[in-house]
């Protein structure tokens, strides 16, 4: 009897160890997945989602009916092998998103294997909550956000018309006299849609509501967020129009956001309490269920099949550790940009004059938190030449390639032509995009931009990471099939580790009524090429290892090599030499150099005289 009792007590410990070993097969990639998720402010609620999922899982483990009856074998057979293959592929190419999706699939299949649908339905609430922190593929969340922003600005414009507040709507911008409101920034409640999705799903699952009721409650939640954003935008425009008070910036903006979030949560609770229809509840209330005495692990038999699966998962976990270290070391070794210094505080400069273009005012650093961009920082300069004004911008960081024309469309511009200018001697051996833009009122603009990653590689026509086809059309902005092919093309195979590389963009824009003349376009393109090299020289280093010097700054790097095969380094070197030739020599510096040279000549003459036994010549400094 004692032996049986001891074996019975040992069983949960052994099974717990097996489960932890199985989880190890996902641990490295899941850790990277959540680290990546934290880079985006729209998903930084995920710790709350994990805590909510754990609470639901613990409740399910306490309440599930015993004994368990294994489910039919064909469901795990259709789910577990594909999930395992997906995890193996994710381990080889180091794809955290694939690993997270594989974990959700495999957990569903394993639960079905142990207890069939009866066990799965208890754990499904926690599974749904975990699903809220898995970003949809192919940037579908970004497209959904843009759709919601379009609805918000259209609705706000109609309400402002009703309130007789003069305004002009252009893209995602609403302009009233003295105020320019960018809905993407001021309407940050759009970002809260993901957080409210988690709140809605968790509360409905905790209250044991059915799937149909959860869908109805979620539609109600989306409606509340949309109405809240209409209130935010309209109240901000009304307050400025009536009292010249800005409430959409600073602490007032944050306070309004917190108030609206609390209101949404309160409305969800009230709606859940008052909405009742047949079949809206799933299961009984928690107070009617007596918790079973036997631990769940004692009711589960982790047989030979699960042990074999655990061995495979442990092997994949070890593969992930090796691949993760390999990716990390190769990425760090390939870096030519010290990305840790790009937090908005880095200083970049342009000379007062570039080929007749004169700098106007001080550079204007900007920091913004827009939907699905990780706190993008921008440094903006304005330059003028012969009555034409150009705007130069350095934007960073971007995780993955970002098509800047999307932002211009949101600002009311239409793209009339987009052309890829491949690297050549004429454009400094660096590829770039040339875009023609148009706007109401006959305003036309020309835009040049180039994107460089942390390796110092310019991406517009990079063979392995190009975001454009031969016609210059963005692959990532096409239909779902084209975007899927583009995404698969960027999967890092073999020893590449650049799938999560950080990107930086340099752009130049000028606009005029009726468009720019041919000469103005040529001047703008030359300006873009010059400022691109001047700015990139300030943050792209020739060697991944900085040279330690007593007065080193984050951007003091090793001098560029003379015979560098890297087109970036060669173009920067040529620009540096051209700049040195064009800069007038400082007379003081010239006199010092002449004195030093004369002293060296005197030392040489003295050495020659001693060598030949001749008396030393007296020299007088000039």
Share of the chain above pLDDT 70, in %: 71
What pLDDT does 108 receive? 94
Q: In this model, does residue 296 exceed pLDDT 50?
A: yes
Q: In this model, does residue 321 exceed pLDDT 50?
A: yes
Q: Which of 587, 592, 586, 595 is nearest to 622 (CA)?
A: 595
Instruction: Answer with the residue of higher pLDDT: 66 or 237.
Output: 237
d(CA 281, CA 276): 9
201 in Cβ contact with 129 (< 8 Å)? yes
What pLDDT does 374 receive? 43
Interval 23-70: pLDDT, tens: 999 999 999 999 988 877 788 899 999 999 999 999 998 888 878 888
**What DSSP line would sit under 213-272, residue for residue?**
HHHHHHHHHHHHHHHHHHHHHHHHHHHHHHH----SSHHHHHHHHHHHHHHHHHHHHHHH
What pLDDT does 571 receive? 53
Res. 360 pLDDT band, cuts 50 70 90:
confident
How far apart, in Å, do the first and last CA atoms of the chain sit? 109
Least confident of 30-34, 285-289, 586-590: 285-289
What pLDDT does 305 receive? 83
Structure tokens at 176: 């009233």
Least confident of 37-46, 166-175, 446-455, 463-472: 463-472
Q: In this model, does residue 556 exceed pLDDT 50?
A: no
Least confident of 5-14, 92-101, 121-130, 325-334: 5-14
| Stretch 116-145: mean pLDDT | 86
What pLDDT does 554 receive? 36
190 in Cβ contact with 149 (< 8 Å)? yes
What pLDDT does 83 receive? 95
Q: In this model, does residue 588 exceed pLDDT 90?
A: no
Structure tokens at 278: 């047949």
188 in Cβ contact with 42 (< 8 Å)? no
Non-local (6+) Cβ contacts of 396 within 8 A are 342, 376, 377, 502, 503, 504, 505
| Stretch 472-477: mean pLDDT | 54
Strand order in the sheet with 357-367: 353-354, 357-367, 377-385, 388-399, 502-513, 443-453, 432-439, 414-421
The mean pLDDT value of the chain amounts to: 77
Neighbours of 613 (CB within 10 A): 6
Res. 491 pLDDT band, cuts 50 70 90:
low
Q: Which of 219-228, 242-251, 449-458, 606-615 has the highest mean pLDDT?
A: 219-228
Least confident of 5-14, 121-130, 395-404, 561-570: 561-570
d(CA 413, CA 411): 6
What pLDDT does 314 receive? 94
d(CA 386, CA 509): 16
Q: In this model, does residue 552 exceed pLDDT 50?
A: no
d(CA 351, CA 359): 8
| Stretch 132-155: mean pLDDT | 80
What pLDDT does 293 receive? 54
Least confident of 58-72, 256-270, 604-618: 604-618
Q: In this model, does residue 144 exceed pLDDT 50?
A: yes
Least confident of 28-32, 81-85, 283-287, 543-547: 543-547
Res. 340 pLDDT band, cuts 50 70 90:
low
Res. 182 pLDDT band, cuts 50 70 90:
low
Q: In this model, does residue 557 exceed pLDDT 50?
A: no
Res. 301 pLDDT band, cuts 50 70 90:
confident
Instruction: Answer with the residue of higher pLDDT: 130 or 615.
Output: 130
């Amino acid at each position: 009897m004692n032996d049986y009792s001891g074996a019975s007590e040992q069983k949960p410990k052994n099974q717990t160890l097996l489960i932890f070993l199985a989880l190890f097969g996902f641990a490295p990639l899941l850790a990277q997945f959540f680290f990546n998720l934290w880079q985006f402010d729209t998903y930084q609620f995920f710790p709350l989602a994990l805590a909510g999922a754990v609470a639901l899982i613990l409740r399910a483990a306490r309440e599930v009916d015993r004994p368990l009856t294994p489910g039919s074998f064909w469901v795990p057979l259709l789910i577990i092998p594909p999930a395992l293959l997906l995890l193996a592929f994710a381990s080889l190419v180091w794809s955290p998103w694939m690993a997270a999706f594989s974990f959700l699939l495999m957990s569903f299949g394993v639960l079905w294997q142990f207890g069939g649908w009866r066990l799965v339905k208890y754990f499904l609430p926690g599974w749904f909550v975990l699903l809220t922190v898995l970003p949809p593929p192919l940037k579908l969340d970004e497209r959904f956000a843009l759709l919601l922003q379009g609805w918000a600005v259209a609705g706000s414009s109609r309400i402002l018309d009703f309130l007789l507040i003069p305004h002009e709507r252009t893209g995602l911008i609403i302009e009233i006299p003295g105020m320019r409101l960018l809905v993407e920034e001021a309407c940050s409640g759009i970002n809260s849609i993901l957080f409210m999705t988690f709140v809605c799903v968790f509360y409905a699952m905790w209250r044991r509501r059915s799937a149909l009721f959860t869908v109805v409650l979620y539609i109600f939640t989306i409606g509340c967020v949309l109405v809240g954003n209409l209130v935010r935008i309209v109240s901000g425009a009304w307050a400025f129009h009536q009292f010249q008070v800005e409430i959409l910036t600073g602490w007032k903006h944050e306070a309004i956001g917190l108030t609206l979030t609390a209101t949404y949560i309160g409305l969800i609770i009230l709606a859940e309490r008052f909405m009742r229809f047949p079949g809206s509840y799933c299961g009984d209330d928690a107070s009617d269920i007596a918790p079973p005495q036997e631990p769940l692990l004692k009711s589960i038999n982790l047989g030979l099949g699960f042990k074999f699966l655990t061995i495979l998962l442990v092997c994949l976990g070890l593969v992930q550790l090796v691949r993760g270290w390999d990716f990390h070391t190769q990425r760090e070794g390939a870096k030519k940009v010290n990305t840790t210094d790009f937090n908005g505080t880095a200083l970049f400069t342009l000379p007062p004059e570039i080929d007749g273009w004169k700098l106007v005012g001080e550079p204007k650093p900007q920091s913004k938190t827009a939907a699905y961009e990780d706190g993008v920082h921008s440094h903006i300069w304005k330059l003028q030449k012969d009555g034409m004004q150009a705007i130069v911008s350095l934007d960073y960081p971007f995780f993955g390639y970002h098509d800047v024309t999307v932002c211009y469309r949101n600002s009311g511009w239409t793209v009339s032509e987009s052309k890829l200018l491949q690297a050549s001697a004429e454009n400094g051996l660096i590829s770039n995009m040339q875009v023609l833009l148009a706007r109401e009122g006959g305003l036309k603009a020309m835009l040049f931009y180039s994107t460089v990653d942390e390796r110092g590689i310019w991406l517009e026509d990079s063979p392995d990471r190009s975001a454009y086809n031969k016609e210059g059309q963005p692959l990532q902005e096409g239909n779902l099939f084209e975007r899927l092919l583009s995404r698969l093309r960027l999967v890092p195979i073999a020893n590449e580790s650049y799938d999560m590389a950080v990107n930086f963009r340099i752009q130049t824009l000028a606009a005029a009524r009726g468009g720019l003349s041919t000469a103005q376009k040529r001047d703008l393109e030359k300006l873009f090429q010059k400022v691109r090299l001047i700015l990139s020289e300030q943050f792209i280093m020739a060697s991944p290892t900085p040279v330690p010097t007593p007065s080193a700054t984050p951007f003091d790097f090793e001098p560029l090599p003379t015979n560098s095969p890297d087109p970036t380094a060669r173009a920067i070197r040529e620009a540096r030499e051209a700049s040195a030739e064009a800069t007038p020599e400082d007379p003081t510096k010239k006199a010092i150099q002449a004195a030093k040279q004369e002293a060296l000549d005197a030392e040489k003459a003295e050495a020659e005289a001693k060598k030949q036994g001749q008396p030393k010549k007296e020299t007088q400094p000039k």
